[in-house]
């Protein structure tokens, strides 16, 4: 069986990718330093503990498993934290990725799939965000991801390392079978924090900013189910294996929901009210991030099936009640 190296395979999205790869007949080799991931989430293939800043360790793991491709999920991904400590983001996300990309070239790996983000587009009022939209990130997180995209363009030109870059919109939900799910310590994302507030694990959900230029004053995001998202990665892998050219795809549904709309939907799913506190805006937040592209559907053949708020909140709620990792 072919191996795929999954950098960040112990994290939220990486663990779902490992499950999907294993189901598709690959051996997912998880490379993770467990700084934000969970060893308990490594269930579908071998675990190689290691840091992306440790080039010798990456080389060792690539030589041992000889993967046919790399899926790179390992990164810090909190917008607010990236504003507080930009150096941490440039070091971890950019230097770490450069190590992995250089190691891939030296190990003669031909296929590289990279988790990028819609945060590379920045705040562009009333602009339909497609893959050709100008990238002008307003936070260090988005800037660090854009930098890695640029590294990939250069390395393809110079060394022929082919890539698929996925620019994620807001990833949500959990494995419907409950084997893996979203669990961050500390948690900063809207849906898990909202579920904590619903079942009393925290006093209330804080809504950051009610004075945005949106119909209800709260930020608008495009939510995509984590299982749909990793399905796109499998399609991206086939795309590269078929010898097709490097590409960039947005992964979003094109439907935008405000923070208040997400809260309202959660009442329908859980039958419980969400205690709320309204506060000022959080640094680095864009007003609206919604994909305006159907390129992943038309070119890759991607069909999101669970990316509706009911399924995303429902799956997250089930995971929230039953499955947690402990360090």
User: Of 149, 170, 159, 140, which Cα lies nearest the Cα of 312?
Assistant: 170
d(C-alpha 3, C-alpha 219), whole Å: 40
164 binds ligand UFG (CB under 6 A): no
What residues between 265 and 304 interact with ligand UFG by CB under 6 A? 282, 285, 289
Neighbour order of strands in the sheet with 288-289: 257-258, 220-221, 288-289
CA distance 184 to 12: 8
- Of the ranges 20-28, 45-53, 100-108, 189-197, which one interacts with ligand UFG (CB under 6 A)? 189-197
Query: Which stretch in 13-21, 51-59, 203-211, 268-276 sits in contact with ligand UFG by CB under 6 A?
Result: 203-211
- Tell the residue number behind the tokens 């709309």, with chain if given: 261
What's the min distance (Å) between Cβ of 119 and ligand UFG?
4
Round to whole Å and give the CA distance between 128 and 289.
9
Quote the least distance from Cβ 189 to ligand UFG, whole Å: 4
With contact defined as beta carbons under 8 Å apart, do 161 and 2 qualify? no
At a CB cut-off of 8 Å and minimum separation 6, what does 117 contact?
A: 77, 141, 142, 145, 167, 168
Active site residues: 141
Contact residue for ligand UFG among 52, 79, 226, 309 (CB under 6 A): 79
**Closest approach of ligand UFG to the CB of residue 175, in Å:** 19
Q: Give yes or no for residue 16 binding ligand UFG (CB under 6 A).
A: no
Which residue among 33, 77, 82, 270 contacts ligand UFG (CB under 6 A)? Answer: 77
Q: Interface with ligand UFG by CB under 6 A: which range of 83-91, 115-123, 240-248, 315-323?
A: 115-123
Question: In a 10 Å sphere around its CB, with 0-12 CB exposed, 13-18 middle and 19+ buried, how is residue 52 labelled?
Answer: buried
Residue from the set 189, 202, 260, 272 that interacts with ligand UFG by CB under 6 A? 189
One of 7, 41, 119, 174 touching ligand UFG (CB under 6 A) = 119
Asked if 132 and 79 touch (Cβ cutoff 8 Å), the reply is: no
Alpha helices in 160-277, H assignment, sequence order: 190-198, 226-241, 259-270
List interacting residues with ligand UFG (CB under 6 A).
Answer: 77, 79, 117-119, 170, 188-190, 193, 205-208, 219, 221, 259, 282, 285, 289
């Amino acid at each position: 069986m072919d191996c795929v190296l999954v950098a960040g395979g112990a994290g939220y999205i990486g663990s779902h990718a490992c499950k999907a790869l294993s189901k598709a007949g690959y051996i997912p080799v998880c490379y993770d330093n467990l700084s934000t991931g969970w060893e308990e989430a490594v269930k579908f293939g071998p675990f190689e503990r290691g840091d992306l800043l440790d080039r010798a360790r990456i080389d060792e793991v690539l030589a041992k498993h000889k993967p046919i491709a790399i899926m790179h999920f390992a990164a810090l991904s909190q917008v607010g934290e990236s504003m507080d400590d930009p150096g941490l983001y440039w070091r971890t996300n950019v230097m770490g990725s450069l190590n992995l990309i250089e190691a891939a070239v030296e190990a003669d790996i031909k296929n590289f799939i990279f988790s990028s983000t819609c945060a590379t587009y920045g705040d562009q009022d009333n602009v339909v965000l497609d893959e050709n939209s100008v990238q002008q990130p307003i936070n260090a997180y988005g800037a660090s991801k854009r930098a890695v995209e640029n590294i990939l363009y250069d390395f393809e030109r110079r060394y022929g390392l082919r890539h698929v870059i996925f620019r994620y919109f807001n990833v949500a939900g959990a494995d419907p079978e409950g084997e893996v799910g979203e669990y961050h310590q500390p948690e900063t994302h809207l849906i898990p924090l909202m579920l904590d507030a619903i079942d009393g694990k925290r006093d209330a959900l804080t809504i950051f900013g009610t004075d945005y230029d949106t119909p209800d004053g709260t930020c608008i995001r495009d939510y995509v189910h984590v299982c749909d998202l990793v399905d796109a990665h499998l399609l991206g892998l086939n795309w590269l294996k078929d010898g097709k050219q490097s590409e960039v795809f947005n992964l979003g549904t094109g439907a935008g929901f405000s923070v208040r709309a997400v809260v309202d939907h959660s009442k329908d799913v859980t039958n419980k009210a969400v205690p709320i506190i309204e506060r000022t805006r959080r640094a680095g937040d864009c007003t609206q991030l919604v994909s305006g592209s159907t390129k992943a559907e038309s070119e890759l053949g991607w069909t999101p099936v669970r990316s509706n708020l009911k399924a995303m909140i429902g799956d997250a709620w089930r995971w929230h009640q039953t499955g947690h990792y402990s360090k």
